[in-house]
Amino acid sequence: MEKDAVIKILSNATMENNELIEVLSPGKFIITEDEFVAKYKETEISGMAGTNTTLRVNKDYVVLEREGSTSTKMDFRKGESTVSLYNTPYGMLELTINTHKLNIDVTENGGKVFIEYDMKVLDQAPFKTQISLDIQTK
Q: Which tens digit of pLDDT belongs to each residue from 77-114?
A: 999 999 999 888 888 989 999 999 999 999 999 999 99
**What was the pLDDT predicted at 13?**
62
- Please report, as a single letter, which amino acid is at residue 12: N
* DSSP collapsed to 3 states, the chain: CEEEEEEEEEEEEHHHCCCEEEEEEEEEEEECCCCEEEEEECCHHHCCCCCEEEEEECCCCEEEEEECCCEEEEEECCCCEEEEEEEECCEEEEEEEEEEEEEEEEECCEEEEEEEEEEEECCCCCEEEEEEEEEEEC
pLDDT in tens, 45-60: 666 777 899 999 999 9
Return the CATH number of 2-137, one of 3.40.50.2300, 2.102.10.10, 3.40.50.970, 2.40.128.20: 2.40.128.20
The percentage of the chain sitting over the pLDDT mark of 70, rounded to a whole number, equals 91
User: Would you state the pLDDT for residue 107?
Assistant: 96
Cα distance between residue 53 and residue 68, in whole Å: 9
Mean pLDDT of the chain: 90
For residue 2, the model assigns a pLDDT of 96
Supply the pTM of this predicted model. Answer: 0.87
